[in-house]
Amino acid sequence: MKKHILVVPGDGIGQEVTRVGKKVLEKIAAKYGHEFTYDEALIGHVAIEATGEPLPDETLIKMRASDAILFGAVGHAKYDNDPNAKVRPEQGLLKMRKELGLFANLRPIKLFDELLSSSSIKPEILKGSDILFFRELTGDVYFGEKKRTADSASDLMIYHKYEVERIARKAFDAAMTRGKKLMSVDKANVLESSRLWREVIQEVSKDYPEVTVEHQFIDAAAMLLIKDPKRFDVVVLGNLFGDILTDEASQIAGSMGMLASASVGESTGVYEPIHGSAHDITGKNLANPMASVLSAALLLDISFGLKAESRDVISAVDQVLKAGFRTGDIADENTPKEKILGTVEIGEEILKRI
């Protein structure tokens, strides 16, 4: 198979973890006889510094010409502490999603048994959890009209019927291949946009009579996710609620450094860890690259249909964990110091096992 992959490291530790993710893809290509070619492009803070734009036109052209995109992270404390900044790294991320039509964000919560003790949740509550989130990615308050006066501000939470329907169908299709259970999360007791959301979910559900549908308000869902994560299977929710709930779900996996995601839609898919740019540990060889590696596994599976290769990558990560190796974020008091590795070293251990 011949495919072209664009690597977009972005900011902070994104540059370190995508380096490992790319090496994994190279190893897979060599092992299975595929021909993967690569290019790189700028986004976020590094793009602003180089071009003045968070998503340069050159990057967008390269994105559209690629078969898949391995993404890092965007963000910088410089902008977090300046609410008046007109140009921000995150604008590049939102524009990329809009321009590429990436309306569905898939976030599998993959729980490795070896990391049961890494979570702050009791192991007996966690064990057996297996959740697939479908977060709508191009609507909601992130893309609604924004207004600001001297003493007020507003963000329009808006959804159109077609936006809800297309993410719903992806979630229902996935539910049919899993446990035939789907939870839809909204705030229909308060928000008109959530009432539309719930109505569309109910309408689409008629085409999937085998799937059991459960509706939960976002506040109740946030509580249940910690109380009884095994209750969740496929979850579909809007952009804002999805942003919050999937970060909460990182505690099920033990660390954000373990969670991959896929953003798909109308064209090229984007595969990225859900963690941010983490500038406090940038350049220190401390970042956990496993989320980027698992994102590469999603890329192989979803964009290229290479399921055996994808399983090979996941198995390699599992073997590394079974061997007792950890990065700092998933180590505990029982982890021997010699087993706590840096970004580069844990990446090498994964590569050995592919």
Taking only the tens place, the pLDDT of each residue in 164-207 is: 999 999 999 999 999 999 999 999 999 999 999 999 999 999 99
Same domain, 246 and 264: no
In a domain, 115, yes or no: no
In a domain, 63, yes or no: yes
The DSSP output letter for 302 is I
Same domain, 140 and 67: no
Same domain, 127 and 238: yes
Per residue in 76-109, is it b (16+ CB within 10 Å) or e — as a string? beebeeeeeeeebbbbbbbbbbeebebbbbbbbb
Confidence of residue 59 (pLDDT cuts 50, 70, 90): very high
Given 209, 230, 253, the domain boundary residue is 253
Given 253, 286, 302, the domain boundary residue is 253
Same domain, 103 and 181: no
Same domain, 209 and 284: no
Same domain, 270 and 225: no
Given 253, 278, 294, the domain boundary residue is 253
The CATH number that applies at residue 248 is 3.40.718.10
Q: How far apart (Å, rounded) are the C-alpha atoms in residues 243 and 148?
A: 23
Catalytic (active-site) positions: 142, 187, 219, 243, 247
Residue 280 neighbours by CB under 8 Å, 6+ apart = none
- Predicted local confidence at residue 84, as pLDDT: 78
Residue 121 neighbours by CB under 8 Å, 6+ apart = 226, 229, 251, 252
| Percent of the chain clearing pLDDT 70 (strictly above) | 100
- Predicted local confidence at residue 267, as pLDDT: 84
Which structural domain range is residue 319 located in?
1-110+259-354
- Map residue 133 onto helix, strand or coil: strand
Structure-block tokens of residue 171: 């979630």
State the Cα angle at 167 between 165 and 171, rounded to 5°.
Answer: 110
In a domain, 180, yes or no: yes
- Predicted local confidence at residue 82, as pLDDT: 77
Mean pLDDT of 220-242: 97
Same domain, 201 and 151: yes
**How many beta carbons lie within 10 A of that of residue 12, not counting itself?**
28
> What domain count does the chain have?
2
